Amino acid sequence: MKKTWLAASAAILLALAPASGLSEAHAAPLLQDGESLSIRTRPITQFQRGSDVSQFGKLSFLGGLDLTLPAKKYGGISALIALEGGGSYLAVTDDARWIAFELQQDGNGTPLAITSARSAQALDPKGAILQKSKAWDTEGMTLGINGKRTELFVSVERVNRIYRFAWPLTTGKAKALSQVETPAGFRKLRGNKGPEALAGSALSSPLKGGLVAIGERNPDAAKNTLPGFIIGGPLAGSFEIERSGDYDATDAEFLPGGDLLLLERRFNMQDWIGMRLRRFKASEIRPGAKLKGEILLEAGPSHDIDNMEALAVHQDAGGHTVLTLMSDNNRSLMQRTLLLRFRLDD
């Protein structure tokens, strides 16, 4: 299968650059011929259970939704992209299914309801359904530009691949264009601890448009780090992120100023469930680096969270940075699909 490097000067997140003209590429609705979904929601007004506190360090909780999906097969949301000022989203599940939806929100950015949801299955470059292949475990997703074209990039665990798709996904029948060439260390990630997080840097950042991929856990158990890779751009190479508190990487996104935001998840019998957000300075992300970062938020069983796996970033009409998080319910009756919204106040 033909592979391609991401162009050295050509990857920028649509959600972070509304003035770049990329947003116009989303004028047509996504997945127009996709299967229509009816998603019921219940509002979440408290992030910390039993408390009306809305400020958590530099983050203000704007509200959330508890989603009831129409069938088990639509669960497992693992990555998310925000479009149109947070009014429209594209998600991918961990079994290669696209889900597009519109999000009703008030003037403060509080989520109100989900409408016009539709779904379709992702296809490989030959048109085969990814879900029925070895490359079914899709975990990371980001938008970027390859040459002069806006494209969608999706990372796949177990087989350790990144596929590129034409953008926008106006139809649910669009085939992947090809794979992206990746470094050897990326291809050596093990099992279902592979490329969980994928983010596209801005052209104005030190990475000059390179993709950043982060493994859920290091294949070398002796290293208490998360493996990171810069793919394409002038600083292509690998780096590490200090791992602590038994947290694993689940998603990543670049902030408007160029810093990298990492979403992490913890689950064990002692601590039960946990979620963490860490921020890394743009200037520190380079080959050979070992990053520690700043903890913006850490939440546990006393907070209204689940298996938080998806992260999207957009700027609202007032220029505020808004984070949208979603959970992977693992298609289990014991877990939930949540959508949570925070504003970054700094």
Q: From CA 327, how far away is CA 338, in angstroms rounded? A: 5
Confidence (pLDDT) at 26: 52
* CATH code, 3-344: 2.115.10
| pLDDT tens string 99-157 | 999 999 999 999 999 999 999 999 999 999 999 999 999 999 999 877 778 899 999 99
Most confidently predicted of 99-113, 199-213, 218-232 = 99-113
Confidence (pLDDT) at 148: 75
| pLDDT tens string 47-96 | 999 999 999 999 999 999 999 999 999 999 999 999 999 999 999 999 99
Residue 148's identity, in one-letter code, is K
Confidence (pLDDT) at 5: 38
Residues paired with 59 in a beta bridge? 56, 344
| pLDDT tens string 20-56 | 333 334 546 899 999 999 999 999 999 999 999 999 9
Confidence (pLDDT) at 313: 98
Whole-model pTM?
0.92
SS3 309: strand
Contact 162, 180 (CB under 8 A): yes
**Domain positions in the chain:** 3-344
Give which of 170, 82, 192 is closest to 120, Cα–Cα.
170
Q: From CA 8, how far away is CA 107, in angstroms rounded? A: 38
Q: From CA 276, how far away is CA 299, in angstroms rounded? A: 6
Long-range CB pairs of 263-272 (<8 Å, 24+ gap) are 263/197, 263/308, 263/309, 263/310, 263/311, 263/325, 265/307, 265/308, 265/309, 267/307, 271/246, 271/300, 272/300, 272/301
